């Protein structure tokens, strides 16, 4: 017997098969949130990719509608692009109704992906010879919605050329008006000048230094090196063309940026990249920026979570891997500031015993059990555990503490306990859990914490596929409605511009 969490719906009878199906889907969601197929602290890239490939294939074949609906969740960009690719590769397996829903989900998710990742996806589809009518229509609509194809032509020329060839797009007519785009991409040197500012700036930048400052930053960088322009002078002059992330990456090279507008997890990664002395020197600035980012992420839920205690993992394994340096620790640091914003009252317990979150570093063992005991002594309304789940000081203590707490001391569930895990366990095809009685959800970005706590309710093994499907349907409807509104606002802006 399982009840729909968060509603007053009548309880529904769930078969064993339903419960297994729900667990399968949650396995996939956790993997799609956390894994990017890259090396982690305890598994190499090959193991991650093999495990992830199996889950994609398994869920697509057995639960295709749910597989597509995952595009509406807070999964990472790597898995979103992979789902789109698999759906388009296997269009023959879908019914007409599924194709319609998938098309809308794909269009909405592509609109949110970074353009370089979408162009990479188009190259993959071309290499796989996936060129059905639906694929061409999706590609054509995405290009038509791009704010400036001239920008893409100079920044992503190979990706745009591949997309145009693959979809057989006429660059001399329709929404891709302007034969000069075709000349720029496929017949360089044919025109003495271009009407589009970016295209002409790219042409002039080969022999005019001043022209490089009219180009996107990453394109201008190459020309600056070619012309031998000093790095400091280049960064100072190109600053108006830089994005916030580009300013952040180059800040230590002399440019200025407003840290208060950075996303929470990226900001936490930046803070952790600084030497301890610099963190101390800039304490007020960095703390203020982290709190501002956390408040933005909390939104209307700020201050509504009551008494919250957190157990945050800053053990050595939080150092991540060579390709994901300090990512688990950055998620824990971001969650710390977000929980502080969400809570009415808040207390943090770092596994190392650290008292200053700004100075945390990955070191030592993982005494999760001891820290969970400390946190439960606070009598919180919510206990949130942010850890990769490798409890080793001593091994298994955390699971036993949580089992006894839930079965003996808190049967009425006065304290809500949830575990969020930033690391995918390739061997287990899931994020590592601490105890069967505690819901666990994968997390990649700290700012997704509130939404992931919502979906974690389905991970206790008591909720079946019907409730989970209803939740996914709600998320899909909200996702598609938001995309529809965004498209409407974009069309109005374009109409006003014309």
Among the ranges given (60-74, 173-187, 354-368), the one the predictor scored with the smallest mean pLDDT: 173-187
- pLDDT for position 4: 37
Residue 320 bridge partners (DSSP): 325
- pLDDT for position 446: 95
Over residues 357-371, the pLDDT tens digits come to 999 999 999 999 999
- pLDDT for position 252: 54
Q: Is 438:409 a contact under the CB 8 Å cutoff?
A: no
Task: Give the pLDDT band (50/70/90) at residue 8.
Answer: very low
- pLDDT for position 490: 61
Helix (H, G, I), strand (E, B) or coil at 276: helix
CA angle 145, 149, 155 (to 5 degrees): 125
- pLDDT for position 326: 93
Over residues 239-295, the pLDDT tens digits come to 888 887 787 777 654 445 678 778 999 999 999 999 999 999 999 999 999 999 999
Over residues 227-237, the pLDDT tens digits come to 999 998 999 89
Helix (H, G, I), strand (E, B) or coil at 307: strand
Burial of 189 (0-12, 13-18, 19+ CB in 10 A): exposed
DSSP codes joined into one string, 282-300: THHHHHHHHHHHHHHHHGG
Higher pLDDT residue, 255 or 302?
302
Task: Give the pLDDT band (50/70/90) at residue 459.
Answer: low
What is the chain's mean pLDDT, rounded?
87
Q: Is 254:235 a contact under the CB 8 Å cutoff?
A: yes
- pLDDT for position 428: 85
Task: Give the pLDDT band (50/70/90) at residue 458.
Answer: confident
Among the ranges given (4-8, 72-76, 378-382, 394-398), the one the predictor scored with the smallest mean pLDDT: 4-8
Q: Is 334:262 a contact under the CB 8 Å cutoff?
A: no
Q: Which domains does the chain have, with CATH numbers?
A: 206-257 (no CATH), 264-461 (3.40.50)
Identify the residue whose tokens are 């919502």.
454
Mean pLDDT, residues 12-26: 72
Judged against a pLDDT cut of 60, whether residue 345 lies above it is answered with yes
Task: Give the pLDDT band (50/70/90) at residue 23.
Answer: confident
Handedness of CA 125, 129, 132, 133 (dihedral sign): positive
Question: What values do phi and psi take at 295, rounded to 5?
Answer: -65, -40
Among the ranges given (8-12, 40-44, 261-265, 338-342), the one the predictor scored with the smallest mean pLDDT: 8-12
Give percent above pLDDT 70 in the chain: 90
Judged against a pLDDT cut of 60, whether residue 178 lies above it is answered with no
Mean pLDDT, residues 190-205: 91
The alpha carbons of the chain give a radius of gyration, in whole angstroms, of 25
């Amino acid at each position: 017997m399982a009840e729909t969490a968060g509603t007053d719906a009548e309880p529904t009878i769930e078969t064993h098969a339903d419960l297994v199906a729900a667990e399968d889907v949650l396995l996939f969601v956790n993997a799609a949130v956390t894994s990017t197929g890259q090396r982690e602290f305890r598994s190499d890239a090959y193991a991650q990719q093999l495990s992830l490939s199996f889950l994609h294939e398994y869920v697509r074949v057995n639960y295709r509608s749910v597989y597509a609906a995952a595009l509406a969740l807070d999964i990472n960009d790597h898995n979103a692009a992979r789902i789109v690719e698999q759906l388009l590769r296997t269009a023959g397996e879908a019914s007409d109704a599924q194709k319609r829903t998938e098309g809308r989900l794909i269009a909405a998710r592509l609109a949110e992906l970074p353009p370089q990742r979408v162009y990479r996806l188009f190259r993959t589809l071309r290499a796989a010879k996936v060129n059905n009518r639906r694929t061409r229509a999706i590609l054509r609509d995405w290009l038509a919605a791009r704010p400036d194809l001239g920008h893409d032509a100079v920044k992503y020329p190979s990706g745009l050329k591949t997309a145009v060839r693959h979809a057989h797009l006429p660059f001399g007519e329709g929404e891709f008006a302007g034969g000069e785009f075709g000349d720029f991409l496929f017949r360089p040197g044919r025109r003495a000048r271009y009407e589009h500012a970016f295209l002409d700036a790219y042409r002039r930048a080969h022999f005019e230094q001043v022209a490089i400052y009219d180009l996107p930053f990453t394109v201008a960088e190459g020309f600056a090196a070619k012309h031998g322009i000093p790095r400091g002078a280049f960064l100072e002059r190109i600053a108006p063309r830089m994005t916030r992330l580009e300013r952040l990456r180059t800040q230590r090279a002399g440019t200025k940026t407003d840290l208060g507008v950075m996303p929470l997890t990226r900001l936490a990664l930046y803070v952790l990249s600084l030497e301890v002395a610099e963190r101390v020197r800039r304490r007020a600035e960095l703390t203020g920026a982290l709190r501002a980012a956390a408040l933005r992420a909390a939104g209307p839920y700020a201050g509504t979570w009551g008494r919250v205690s957190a157990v945050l993992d800053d053990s050595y394994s939080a150092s991540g891997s060579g390709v994901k340096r300090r990512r688990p620790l950055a998620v824990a640091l971001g969650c710390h500031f977000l929980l502080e914003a969400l809570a009415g009252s808040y207390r943090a317990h770092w596994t190392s015993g650290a008292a200053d979150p700004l100075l945390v570093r990955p070191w030592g063992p993982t005494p999760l059990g001891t820290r969970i005991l400390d946190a439960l002594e606070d009598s919180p309304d919510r206990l949130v555990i942010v850890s990769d789940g490798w409890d080793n000081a001593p091994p298994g203590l955390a699971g036993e503490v949580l089992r006894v707490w839930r079965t003996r001391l808190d049967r009425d569930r006065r304290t809500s306990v949830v575990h969020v895990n930033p690391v995918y366990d390739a061997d287990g095809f899931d994020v590592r859990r601490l105890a069967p009685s505690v819901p666990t959800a994968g997390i990649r970005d700290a700012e997704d914490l509130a939404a992931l706590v919502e979906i974690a309710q389905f991970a206790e093994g008591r909720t079946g596929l019907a409730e989970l499907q209803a939740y996914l349907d709600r998320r899909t409807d909200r996702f598609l409605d938001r995309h529809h509104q965004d498209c409407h606002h974009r069309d109005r802006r374009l109409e006003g511009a014309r």
